[in-house]
């Protein structure tokens, strides 16, 4: 794929002359016909975003968020935006939403996609899997609409994640055991995969071939970035949400731990599969900004209600109490070590 100077201009909202200056100064390769390869394009965006950070004197400077806001307003309005404009929710498809964001505009991606593989292939009993069917998605999806596990679709998703993520930043993507084997390897082509973490749910769930008690979290980076602490283990024992009001709702603590590892105050956190909004609650608790989307109307109405109430009263309507179990390291991480 190749890009033109105009593509960069549109992406960054800067004038062509500035871009040409950057190309000359940084000796970025340009083809004879003036086009840029994927690599040159990405290098240019990264350099520009680094320069912008320095110019603004702080890497979490508000203008970057304003830039997102400006772009968003041109394209679509959020379904929900908090009064202080730090939290925005959109009803959209993950790839189309990410495409609507400018390059290098978010500081961390924490997400839990609705993979179709596990649901379609690992059926129990008479073909049914766990969960309520009231909110079934289109095309035979069991609970909500699923994100199709084709390599092409997943690669397009990862490439958009890479594009919107600022340089020297982290991404966390949740995986079930099925999608880990089929899709996670593609992440290596796009990001620097650093580790695969294990979320130990403490209690067993359903499953014919060993009862399921864990999920995976792929941890990767764009560029170089250390974790905030060297004391976080790669197995996270946090209890599952029981009797959840939204299918597949995750404990906020799982997302909080990702942010403890990789975020700073005022980071723009992005979750393109927001579901019930657990990642948004984690972002608020960690003093971060948040931008997220979901295709489902139900998810957006649940997360909107949840975020609004949490901002107003600090009450989490969908997770009434802490899901930290008796694991000493987890308790220490949460209670003795503040971000
Ligand atoms: C596994 S759930 C996320 C649950 C969430 N982490 C929580 O704690 O509530 C995945 C979500 O992805 C949404 N979804 C499915 N296909 C999507 C797509 N193409 N783009 C964005 N969201 C999608 C589903 O509606 C569902 O809410």
Contact by Cβ (8 Å): 225, 165: no
pLDDT digits (tens, 9 = 90+) for 23-38: 887 788 888 888 888 7
Structural domain of 74: 58-335
SS3 state of residue 269: strand
The CA distance from 187 to 194, in Å, is: 11
pLDDT in the model for residue 131: 43
Average pLDDT, the chain: 84
Does 46 lie in the same domain as 192?
no
Does 50 lie in the same domain as 83?
no
Does 180 lie in the same domain as 314?
yes
Whether residue 48 has pLDDT greater than 90: no
Strands 192-200 and 165-175 come out as unpaired
Domain finish residue from 37, 56, 75: 56
Q: Which among 174, 215, 169 is positioned nearest to 192, based on CA atoms?
A: 169
145 lines ligand 1 (CB under 6 A): yes
Q: Which among 328, 325, 324, 330 is positioned nearest to 234, based on CA atoms?
A: 330
Does 71 lie in the same domain as 38?
no
Among positive and negative, which fits the CA dihedral 3, 268, 226, 219?
negative
- Cα(273) to ligand 1 centroid in Å equals 4
Contact by Cβ (8 Å): 41, 47: no
Does 113 lie in the same domain as 213?
yes
Does 10 lie in the same domain as 131?
no
pLDDT digits (tens, 9 = 90+) for 98-139: 999 999 999 999 999 998 765 555 544 444 444 444 444 455
pTM of the model: 0.80
pLDDT digits (tens, 9 = 90+) for 225-252: 999 999 999 999 999 998 888 989 999 9
Does 286 lie in the same domain as 251?
yes
319 lines ligand 1 (CB under 6 A): no
Does 62 lie in the same domain as 45?
no
- Cα(112) to ligand 1 centroid in Å equals 7
Residue 74 backbone phi and psi in degrees, to 5: -65, -35
From 98, 283, 294, give the residue whose CB has the most ligand 1 atoms within 8 Å, as the site to mutate. Answer: 294
Number of domains in the chain: 2
Does 47 lie in the same domain as 175?
no
């Amino acid at each position: 794929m190749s890009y033109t100077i105009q593509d960069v201009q549109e992406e960054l909202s800067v004038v062509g002359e500035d871009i040409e200056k950057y190309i000359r100064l940084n000796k970025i390769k340009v083809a004879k016909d003036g086009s840029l390869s994927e690599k040159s394009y990405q290098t240019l965006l990264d350099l520009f975003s680094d320069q912008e950070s320095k110019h603004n004197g702080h890497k979490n400077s508000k203008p970057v968020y304003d830039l997102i806001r400006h772009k968003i307003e041109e394209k679509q309005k959020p379904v929900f935006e908090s009064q202080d404009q730090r939290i925005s929710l959109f009803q959209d498809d993950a790839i189309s939403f990410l495409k609507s964001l400018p390059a290098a505009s978010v500081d961390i991606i924490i997400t839990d996609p609705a993979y179709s593989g596990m649901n379609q292939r690992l059926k129990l009993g008479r073909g049914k899997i766990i969960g309520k069917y009231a909110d079934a998605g289109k095309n035979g999806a069991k609970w909500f609409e699923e994100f199709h596990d084709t390599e092409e679709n997943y690669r397009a998703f990862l490439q958009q994640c890479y594009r919107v993520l600022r340089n020297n930043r982290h991404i966390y993507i949740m995986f079930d055991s099925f999608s880990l084997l089929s899709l996670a390897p593609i992440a290596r082509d796009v990001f620097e995969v650093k580790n695969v973490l294990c979320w130990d749910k403490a209690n067993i769930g359903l499953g014919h071939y060993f009862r399921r008690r864990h999920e995976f979290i792929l941890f990767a980076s764009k560029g170089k970035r250390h974790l905030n602490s060297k004391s976080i283990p790669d197995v996270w024992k946090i209890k599952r949400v029981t009797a959840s009001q939204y299918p597949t709702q995750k404990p906020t603590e799982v997302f909080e731990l990702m942010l403890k590892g990789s975020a700073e105050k005022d980071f723009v956190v992005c979750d393109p599969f927001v579901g019930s909004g657990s990642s948004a609650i984690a972002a608020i608790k960690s003093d971060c900004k948040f931008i997220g989307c979901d295709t489902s109307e139900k998810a957006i109405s649940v997360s909107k209600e949840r975020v609004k109430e949490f901002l107003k009263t600090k009450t989490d309507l969908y997770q009434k109490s802490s899901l930290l179990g008796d694991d000493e390291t987890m308790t220490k991480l949460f209670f003795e070590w503040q971000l």
